[in-house]
Amino acid sequence: MVSLSSSRMFKLLQGHIQPAGHRSGKTRLVTKDGRCNIEFGNIEYTSFTGSWFIFSLLWYWIAKSNGDLMGQNRTDGHVQCVDNVNGLTTAFLYSLETQTTIGYGGRALTGHCAGTVALIIIQSLIGVFINCFMCGVILAKISLPKKRAKTVTFSDTAVICLKKGSLCLLIRVANLRKTLLIGSQIYGKLLRTTTTPDGETIILDQMDIDFMVDAGKDNLFFVCPLTLYHVINRSSPFYELSADSLSQQDFELVVFLDGTAESTSSACQVRTSYIPQEIQWGYNFLPIISRTKTGKYHVDFSNFSKSVQVTTPHCVHCFETDYDQKNQNSHSLENHNNQEKVGIDNLGFQVIDIHESVDMTKM
């Protein structure tokens, strides 16, 4: 009988638990992994042509000017500027061998042309600068903060439920590495299309969304997954939402996490976004942190994005109305109790119990 009740309870709970968020095919500005879905048009780009080919053209011009090419009429005793450079292909090979300092030995300067000495010095210096630039690019790619940002993850969905007596929007964020992010700060931007009183339509209008944890919103101690929340009050852009109208809205909530990697001291930013279909009204996240018998803290990431249905007001106005009604009833009950009291309470009067009767006529 006990096993049957447990099985029913598990099925009931399982029916209320929501798995990791449902993906929506709606076009968004920021993808779930933080990439910006934006395209720039009508921009002119400047590209660099390979330095080997540029210098090969210069070597070819020198060889042609000196009459070293195949098919040119050479006189007896003709001395080439560069040995074995008699066409564009051999000029390109010589440019490649010079700049990469390969030096196979088949092609070399003869010293007959002064221009070749100046050109080989220029090409060698430019080759050094290009190598330094490429090394810097490679090092920058290796230490790119994006690699660190990929180890920070957000919950697939956001939830709306009661927290500390207020209706709040909650998200989860976790650091998958043991190294900390120093000076972490989290904030949000609400993107939507608005129309000004003048009739101007603003696409991707941005509004600030404040997120916080119980200890504040700046310099987060990011050692374990955190649940961040935004209080939905009169100053919140979500104040007019309700459980029914949420799915009909057209907005995108972009969440940013800025921090400094403890190991490299490089700044990095992680971002994700939520659309109305990825916000669950009346749900709360399942707990994922527990303590083992050995005293260590255990984080169960299988429940990181899972949520369970909880009792939640239908809208912010409903919650405020109920709250005001409860306060009014509480005040009315307190006033009623005060009116039933007769006389004035003397706080200095002490009540004692008399166990024996005293004969006052006895002298």
Last residue of a domain, one of 99, 123, 143: 143
Residue 35 lies in a domain: no
- Specify the pLDDT at position 215: 63
Is residue 244 located within the same domain as residue 105?
A: no
Give me 272's structure tokens. 């994700």
Residue 11 lies in a domain: no
Query: Which helix (H) or strand (E) is 94 found in, with range?
Result: helix 88-99
- The three-class DSSP label of residue 361 is coil
Is residue 167 located within the same domain as residue 230?
A: yes
Sequence-distant (≥ 6) Cβ neighbours of residue 273 within 8 angstroms: 28, 29, 30, 31, 32, 252, 253, 254, 255
Residue 254 lies in a domain: yes
Q: What is the pLDDT of residues 206-228, one digit of tens each?
A: 899 999 887 666 667 777 888 88
At 51, which CATH number? 1.10.287.70
Residue 34 lies in a domain: no
- Specify the pLDDT at position 152: 84
Residue 28 lies in a domain: no
At 304, which CATH number? 2.60.40.1400
Residue 33 lies in a domain: no
Q: What is the pLDDT of residues 119-137, one digit of tens each?
A: 888 888 888 888 888 888 7
On whether the CB atoms of residues 167 and 160 are closer than 8 A, the answer is: yes
On whether the CB atoms of residues 257 and 152 are closer than 8 A, the answer is: yes
| pLDDT surpassing 70 at residue 147 | no
Cα(338)–Cα(318) distance, integer angstroms? 30
Residues 318-332 have a mean pLDDT of 60
Q: Which of 235, 224, 192 is nearest to 299 (CA)?
A: 224
Q: What is the pLDDT of residues 74-122, one digit of tens each?
A: 777 788 888 888 888 888 888 888 888 777 777 878 878 888 888 888 8
Is residue 283 located within the same domain as residue 183?
A: yes
Task: Name the residue range of residue 196's domain.
Answer: 149-317
Q: Which of 36-50, 79-93, 177-191 has the lowest mean pLDDT?
A: 36-50
Is residue 173 located within the same domain as residue 120?
A: no
> For the CA atoms of 310, 222, 214, 291, what is the dihedral angle to 10 degrees?
60
